[in-house]
Chains A and B, each alone.
Chain A
Amino acid sequence: MDQLLQQLVNGVLIGLVYSLLAIGLTLVWGVMNVLNFAHGDFLMIGMFLSYWMYALGGIDPLFSIPVNAVALFLMGMFIYRFIISKVMHGPGLAQLVVTFGVSIFIANFAALIWTPNFRSIEHTLLSGTWDLSGIKLSIPKFVSSIGSVVTSFLLFSFLRYTRTGKAILAVEMDREAATIMGINTERINSLSFAIGSALVGVAGALLATHYYIYPFVGGTFGLICFCIVALGGFGSIEGAFIAGILVGVVQTLGGYIFDPAYKLAIVFVMYLITVWIRPQGLRGW
Chain B
Amino acid sequence: MHDLTAKQLTLGGVVLALLVALPLLVPSPFFQHVMIITFMFAMCGVAWNVMGGYAGMFSFGQVAFFGIGAYTSSFLLLTFQVSPWIGLLAGGVISAILAAAIGYPCSNLRGHYFAIASIAFGEIIRIVFNNWHLVGAAEGLTIPMLKESLGNFMFHSSKLPYYYIMLAFLLLAIAVCWWVSASKMGYYFRAIKESHEVAEVLGVNVVRFRLYAIMISAFLTSFAGTFYAQYILYIDPESVMILPISVQIVLVAMLGGASTVLGPVFGAAILIPLSEYSRAFLGYKGTGVDMIVYGTLITIISMYQPNGVWGAIVERLRKGGK
A275 touches B113 (CB 8 A): yes
Query: Is A101's CB under 8 angstroms from B120's CB?
Result: no
Does residue B280 face the partner (Cβ distance < 8 Å to A)? no
Please report which residues of chain A, range 27-57, place their CB below 8 angstroms from some CB of chain B when the two chains form the complex. Answer: 29, 33, 35
A95 to B110, CA, bound (A): 15
A276 CB contact (under 8 Å) in B106, B112, B299, B302: B106
**What residues on A are CB-neighbors of B55 within 8 Å?**
none
Q: Is A100 an interface residue (CB 8 A)?
A: yes
Residues of A within 8 A of B112 (CB): 29, 33, 35, 96, 230
CB <8 Å contact, B127 and A272? no
Question: In this assembly, does A264 line the interface, its C-beta being within 8 Å of a C-beta of chain B?
Answer: yes
For the residues of A in contact with B, the DSSP-based class is: helix
A261 in the interface, Cβ–Cβ < 8 Å? Answer: yes
Tell me whether A112 and B287 are in contact in the complex, defined as CB-CB below 8 angstroms, given that A101-B298, A101-B299 are known contacts.
Answer: yes
Residues 290-322 of B contacting A (Cβ, < 8 Å): 291-292, 294-304, 306-307
CA distance A107 to B243 in the complex (A): 15
CB-based contact A272/B121 at 8 Å: yes
Q: Which of A261-285 contact B (CB under 8 A)?
A: 261-262, 264-265, 268-269, 271-273, 275-276, 279, 281
Q: Which of A85-93, A190-198, A204-212 contacts B (4 or more CB under 8 A)?
A: A85-93
Q: Considering the complex, give the chain A residue whose CB is closest to the CB of B289.
A: A112
Size range of the chain A interface in the assembly? 35 or more
27 pairs from A and B in contact (CB 8 Å cutoff): A29-B112, A83-B299, A87-B303, A93-B254, A94-B302, A97-B254, A98-B299, A98-B302, A101-B298, A101-B302, A104-B291, A104-B295, A104-B298, A107-B291, A230-B113, A230-B117, A261-B130, A262-B128, A262-B131, A264-B123, A264-B127, A265-B128, A268-B124, A271-B117, A272-B117, A275-B109, A279-B109
Other A-B pairs, 4, CB within 8 Å; known A105-B295, A230-B113, A261-B127: A33-B112, A91-B307, A98-B299, A101-B297
User: Which positions in A face B, CB cutoff 8 Å?
Assistant: 29, 33, 35, 83, 86-87, 90-98, 100-109, 111-112, 116, 223, 226-227, 230, 259, 261-262, 264-265, 268-269, 271-273, 275-276, 279, 281
